Amino acid sequence: GTIIGISIGLLAAFLSKYTHTLSSMEPAVVFGFSYIAYLLAEMTETSSILAIVFCGFCMRFFIERNMNPKSISALHSMNKMMATIAEMTIFVMLGIAAAKANWAEHFYWKFSLVCLALCSVARPLVTFFLTYLLNKKRVDKLDWKDQFIMSFSGLRGGIAYSLIVLAIMEGAIPREEGVDPHELGKLEEAFMLTTIFIIIRSSYY
């Protein structure tokens, strides 16, 4: 997925040298190549998320130097709008799933609290460790307030919920012969409810 993203991003960056004569099409070129990276990653069964991220990294580094300033402004506005719509859609789906779920039967407090505790401890530990390494080379150091905000401000849950829906639950729960489909469904909903519980609880931090 990373190789696909970098390759498509560099190709888009190269082509952006010649799009200034048709500036109205420049945002379409950016979105089009990003979508091509996604499709190629899906076709080759690699990570589409990594493909899009690295495609964006490569394009941003080169494209903003080649594109018309008006096209860049339009591109940023379209990106913000699409990101907001996508995030709203995910959280609407999350709210519907939470309202429809059978919490009394399929929600396991002990499992969910252990998962919440592990997430709440692991994220600050990783953040403080990585920022400690970064501060060794940074001129403008990240102080403890910045690190604290970084530790908890990212717990929004949209990606976590999307992944649990997409995963459900081909790898986590083996579908062996003789397994009761009803019990399997209960386990799948338990994983989803635990994820929703962590997302809702984290939003109060």
SS3 at position 126: helix
Specify the pLDDT at position 179.
58
pLDDT at 175 over 70: no
pLDDT at 150 over 90: no
What is the Cα–Cα distance from 18 to 32, expressed in whole angstroms?
A: 16
Backbone angles phi, psi at 204, to 5 degrees: -90, -5
- 20 CA to centre of own chain: 32
**1-4: long-range pairs with CB below 8 Å, 24+:** 1/41, 1/46, 1/47, 1/48, 1/49, 1/50, 1/51, 1/54, 2/47, 2/50, 2/51, 2/54, 4/37, 4/40, 4/41, 4/44, 4/46, 4/51, 4/55
Mean pLDDT of the chain: 80
Specify the pLDDT at position 121.
84
pLDDT more than 90, % of the chain: 5
Sign of CA dihedral 72, 50, 169, 163: negative
What is the Cα–Cα distance from 64 to 47, expressed in whole angstroms?
A: 26
SS3 at position 143: coil
Selection from 133, 138, 194 nearest residue 161 by Cα: 194
Average pLDDT over residues 53-58: 88
Q: Tokens at residue 74, please?
A: 């339009």
How far apart, in Å, are the Cα atoms of 161 and each of 43, 85, 117?
A: 23, 16, 18
